[in-house]
Amino acid sequence: MDDCIFCKIARKEIGKLVYEDDTAAAFDDLNPRAPTHVLIIPKKHIEQLAALLPEDAALIGHIMEVANAIAAQKSIASSGYRVVVNNGRAAGQSVDHLHFHLIGGRALGWPPG
């Protein structure tokens, strides 16, 4: 999608990536909720979790591997972190491109929101 802000970030037209490979990209959240708050996205434009296709299963598994790697890089892997996906406006999704929030670096309360 040419006008999708996350697609533009993945294409390196704007912003700065903290991680990139052939299928995923990651960048710091502009409004962090914790000391570490990174957004991980598939480079393939998928609007939301509910729009995943069976062939996207490996991609989503890979994104979880990326989350683990970034958590280790940011030194939060052993202390704990959260991976969150908001699906749809009522759940808090504000950009129509599937994204995973990697949040950590402090104690996280429950329930969220």
Exactly one of 45, 62, 97, 99 is catalytic; name it. Answer: 99
Q: Which helix (H) or strand (E) holds 22?
A: none
Catalytic residue list contains 101 = no
**Cβ-based neighbour number of residue 19 at 10 Å:** 16
The tokens describing 38, both together, are: 């990174």
Q: Maximum CA pair distance of the chain? A: 38
Residues labelled catalytic: 99
